[in-house]
A and B are shown apart, each in its own frame.
Chain A
């Protein structure tokens, strides 16, 4: 397969797997490829009241790029937003913290704060559950 590797197909497979895992999560109401036709990202509608949190329009947006070669690190982001805030876990080049993994959160002045973040999971499926677990902890500690 390495000889026939294409990053677009690998990215597409990862996005499909993430969609399937998010659909299995009890807090997720629906997941759709977005924009319609391109399917370059996923948008999941969340019922965070199931975690005892009172927020409207809770969604998580997922982007994934598998990397130009089979050994390249994937670039991805899982970004949460609701009526009050937005924050997310990202893995890509950036200038704010050392390394690729970072947690970023919107501040009151419209900017973002950044912290280094180390992802435990290595595959897109498990990563989806890791992020949902971190999201639940993050919202409950606010």
Chain B
């Protein structure tokens, strides 16, 4: 039987059940049961359960046990380490510092342009605009700002522990 939802057959053709379970489970916004992840990943529940347990053992997911079954959610530490590794693979220490300056400058520019200190304040202002397009623009900038702040925090971690991380990184390569 084919799945009528657009793109699902191609998704199944070009990925494994494990790929799909991982993709779905690492993007849920709150802890979810096996049934939810299996349904979203288009795999059988038993298959999903096995893959989810493997992802828990690999420290990709967190598992919360409840009386009516387990819930699975992404491990924030894994996400952070992935981003850290990407940054260390792409940049040396000077490159990381240049990126940090770039991000800090952008954040300073947003603060000056909108006379606010945080993306939260910008969102509050977005709720008081006159037109939908003004609201949209402010919310878009607030989202960019939040992503930039997250990226900056990982970047600072990468710079601070550069010698340790790159030593470990070379040892594991």
Which B131-173 residues have C-beta < 8 A from chain A? 131-133, 135-136, 139-140, 143-144, 146-151
Tell me whether A9 and B10 are in contact (CB under 8 A).
no
Count contacts on B: residues with CB < 8 A to the other chain: 49
- B-contacting residues, A101-142, CB 8 Å: 120-126, 128-134, 137
Known contacts A130-B5, A132-B7; is-contact A5 B29 (Cβ 8 Å)? yes
B62 → chain A closest CB, angstroms: 7
Stretch of A12-20, A51-59, A79-87 that contacts chain B? A12-20
Contact B7 A129, beta carbon cutoff 8 Å: yes
State whether A11 touches B147 (Cβ < 8 A).
Answer: yes
- Given A12-B150, A120-B5, A132-B7: A125 and B24 within 8 A (CB)? yes
**Which residues of chain B are within 8 angstroms of A4 by Cβ–Cβ distance?**
76
User: Which residues of A in the span 36-87 have a Cβ within 8 Å of any Cβ on B?
Assistant: 36-40, 63, 65-68, 70-71, 74-75
By a beta-carbon cutoff of 8 Å, the part of chain B in contact with chain A is: 5-8, 10-11, 14-15, 19-20, 23-24, 26-31, 40, 42, 62, 64, 73-74, 76, 79-80, 82-83, 99, 102-103, 106, 123, 131-133, 135-136, 139-140, 143-144, 146-151
Chain A residues near B (Cβ < 8 Å): 1-2, 4-14, 16-17, 20-21, 24-26, 36-40, 63, 65-68, 70-71, 74-75, 92-95, 120-126, 128-134, 137
